[in-house]
Amino acid sequence: MQIAAMLLAAYLLGSIPAGLWIGKLFYHTDIRESGSGNLGATNSFRVLGKKAGIAVTAIDILKGTAAVLLPLLPVFHDANIHPLTLGIAAVIGHMFPVFAKFRGGKAVATSGGVILGYSWPFFLVLIASFLIVLKLSKIVSLTSMAMGVVGLIYATVNYFVTGDLYLLIVILLLTVFIFYRHRANIGRIKAGTEPKVKWL
């Protein structure tokens, strides 16, 4: 029963549509009707501006982190579940949020939050890599997918060092999610029509 409750709680955390709620509450804008139509951080930056984009990014990251840390709550003390499983539930909630008619984001920031909650050094490696690749490419979608590759490399090396196979499997799954959610972007990148950020 506790495991089911934790999975539901993680999914509901992931389902919080920060971009939608911030847009409607503070900007009277439904970001699903502008830009890419996506609820994630990138479209929030594009449609609502830097302040909103930063806020949405932070919330999307933290909901993944919160899901991974659910086992620390006393009410779930006796539940036997791997925290990364809860992270996967949060990412699924982010992609298919019950609070936004199951039309969500592309899993990047929330996946990062899952990693932050599980291994902060891994998260710092991804953040540093993200900033470097974004600076060079100016394309957020390409950078996001590149982070999936960086994550796989890190998790593979980590497996041979620590034997953490579960982390490797979860990172592989998250990378598949990210690439799948960016399939339209891949087409635009190939065609040379993918938008580039202008603030770097």
* Cα–Cα distance, 109 to 119 (Å, whole number): 15
Domain range spanning residue 138?
Answer: 2-191
* Cα–Cα distance, 101 to 89 (Å, whole number): 17
* Cα–Cα distance, 106 to 138 (Å, whole number): 18
Note the pLDDT of residue 76.
Answer: 84
Note the pLDDT of residue 81.
Answer: 92
Q: Both tokens of residue 148?
A: 């999936």
> What are the pLDDT digits (tens) for 38-74?
888 888 888 888 898 899 999 999 999 999 999 998 8
Note the pLDDT of residue 98.
Answer: 95
Q: Both tokens of residue 147?
A: 């982070």
**What is the domain count for the chain?**
1
Note the pLDDT of residue 158.
Answer: 97
CA dist 145 → 4, 28, 154, 172 (Å):
31, 31, 14, 12
Kindly state whether residue 65 falls inside one of the protein's structural domains.
yes
* The model scores a pTM over 0.75: yes
Residue 89 pLDDT exceeds 90: yes
Q: How confident is the model at residue 75 (pLDDT cuts 50, 70, 90)?
A: confident
> What are the pLDDT digits (tens) for 161-196?
999 999 999 999 999 999 999 999 999 999 988 888
Kindly state whether residue 199 falls inside one of the protein's structural domains.
no
Q: How confident is the model at residue 200 (pLDDT cuts 50, 70, 90)?
A: low
Kindly state whether residue 200 falls inside one of the protein's structural domains.
no
Q: What is the DSSP annotation of the chain?
A: -HHHHHHHHHHHHHT--HHHHHHHHHH---GGGSTT---SHHHHHHHH-HHHHHHHHHHHHHHHHHHHTGGGSGGGTT----HHHHHHHHHHHHHS-GGGTT----SHHHHHHHHHHH-HHHHHHHHHHHHHHHHHH--HHHHHHHHHHHHHHHHHHHHHHH--HHHHHHHHHHHHHHHHHTHHHHHHHHHT-----S--
